[in-house]
C-alpha cells in the first residue's frame, strides 16, 4: 500500500486528492468497452475481492477469470479454412488466422496471462515490466521482452487493475510500435477514471473487463476493488 509523503508545507501529497473523476454511469457506454455480464464471472469476482482469500486461492481465481476473459475477448478473432482428414474422410476445418500475442504487464498480469494460456496454449507471451510510482502514479518501464519480428493477428495487453490508466496507456504505446494489426486491453477491475483515459487515448483498441468499480481513493487504489493485485497473487505484503 502507498505511504504518503509530506510536502515542505507539511501537507500530505495524495496524488488523486481533489482530482475530478467521472462517475460509473458516465463511462458505462463507452465505445469498444466490453464489461462481462457472465454469472460465473460475477461469482468468481466475489471470491477474488474477499479480503480473506489467501494468495494461492487468489492466484487461482485470477487465472480462472483470465480464462473467462480470454474466451470473451477472442470471440471475434479471424479464422481461415484448412483441409484436414477426420478418421472418416476429408473436410474443410477452420483455424485461427495468424498468431496470438499476450503481453502480461508485470507483475500482476502474470496470473491473467496464465488464464489466457489455458484457452490459447500456443499464444506468444511478451513480458512487459511497468511499475507504478506510488507518489506520482506514473508508470515506469523496467523490463521489455517484446520480439522484433512480429506475425500476429492480435495482441492482448493483460493486467488485473486499470486504476489511473497510466500503465495500460503506456503498454499500448509500446505495443503500437510493433505494428500489430489489432490490439486489445484485458483487465479484471477498472475505475471510471482510468477507463475513460484509456478509451480516449487509444480509441482504436477493444477493452475487456470483468467489472467496473466506483472510483479511485486519494492514493490511486480502486474502490471497492480488491487491494493490491500483485501483492495478493504473490504474497508480498
Give residues in contact with ligand PRP (CB under 6 A): 105-108, 130-132, 137, 139, 159-168, 194, 220, 229-230
Our CB check for ligand URA shows the closer of 74 and 199 to be 199
Q: Considering only 11-19, 83-91, 148-156, 220-228, which stretch makes contact with ligand URA by CB under 6 A? A: 220-228
Q: Which stretch binds ligand URA (CB under 6 A): 15-23, 28-36, 88-96, 218-226?
A: 218-226
CA 223/CA 217 separation, integer angstroms: 7
Which C-beta is closer to ligand URA: that of 49 or that of 123?
Answer: 49
Element of type H or E holding 144:
strand 139-144
Length of the chain: 237
- Cβ proximity of 151 and 99 under 8 Å: yes
The grid cell for 23 is 462517475
Asked if residue 158 lies in contact with residue 102, where contact means CB atoms within 8 angstroms, the answer is yes
Task: In angstroms, give the least distance from the CB of 196 to ligand URA.
Answer: 16
Query: Which of ligand URA, ligand PRP, none does residue 196 bind (CB under 5 to 8 Å by kind)?
Result: none
Rounded CA separation 222/220 (Å): 7
Cα 195 from Cα 206, distance rounded (Å): 11
CA dist 112 and 117 (Å) reads: 9
For the bound state, the minimum distance from the C-beta of residue 43 to ligand URA, rounded and expressed in Å, comes to 21
Could you say which of ligand PRP, ligand URA, none residue 70 binds, taking C-beta under 5 to 8 angstroms by partner kind?
A: none
Is the CB of 62 or the CB of 154 nearer to ligand URA?
A: 62
- Please report whether residue 229 would count as binding ligand URA according to CB under 6 A: yes
Amino acid at each position: 500500500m502507498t505511504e504518503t509523503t509530506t510536502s515542505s508545507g507539511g501537507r500530505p501529497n495524495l496524488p488523486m486528492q481533489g482530482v475530478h473523476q467521472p462517475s460509473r454511469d458516465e463511462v458505462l457506454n463507452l465505445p469498444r468497452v466490453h464489461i462481462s455480464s457472465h454469472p460465473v464471472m460475477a461469482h468468481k469476482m466475489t471470491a477474488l475481492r474477499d479480503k480473506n482469500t489467501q494468495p494461492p486461492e487468489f492466484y487461482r481465481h485470477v487465472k480462472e477469470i483470465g480464462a473467462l476473459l480470454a474466451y470473451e475477448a477472442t470471440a471475434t478473432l479471424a479464422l481461415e479454412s484448412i483441409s484436414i482428414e477426420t478418421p472418416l474422410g476429408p473436410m474443410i476445418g477452420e483455424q485461427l488466422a495468424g498468431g496470438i500475442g499476450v503481453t502480461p504487464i508485470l507483475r500482476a498480469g502474470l496470473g491473467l496471462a496464465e488464464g489466457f494460456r489455458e484457452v490459447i496454449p500456443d499464444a506468444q507471451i511478451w513480458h512487459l515490466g511497468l511499475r507504478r510510482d506510488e507518489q506520482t502514479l506514473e508508470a515506469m518501464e523496467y523490463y521489455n521482452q517484446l520480439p522484433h519480428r512480429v506475425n500476429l493477428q492480435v495482441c492482448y495487453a493483460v493486467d488485473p487493475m486499470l486504476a489511473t490508466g497510466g500503465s495500460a496507456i503506456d503498454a499500448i504505446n509500446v505495443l503500437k510500435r510493433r505494428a500489430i494489426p489489432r490490439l486489445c486491453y484485458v483487465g479484471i477491475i477498472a475505475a471510471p477514471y482510468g477507463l475513460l483515459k484509456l478509451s480516449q487515448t487509444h480509441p482504436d483498441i477493444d477493452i475487456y473487463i470483468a467489472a467496473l468499480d466506483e472510483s479511485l481513493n486519494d492514493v490511486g487504489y480502486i474502490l471497492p476493488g480488491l487491494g493490491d493485485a500483485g501483492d495478493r497473487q504473490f504474497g508480498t505484503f
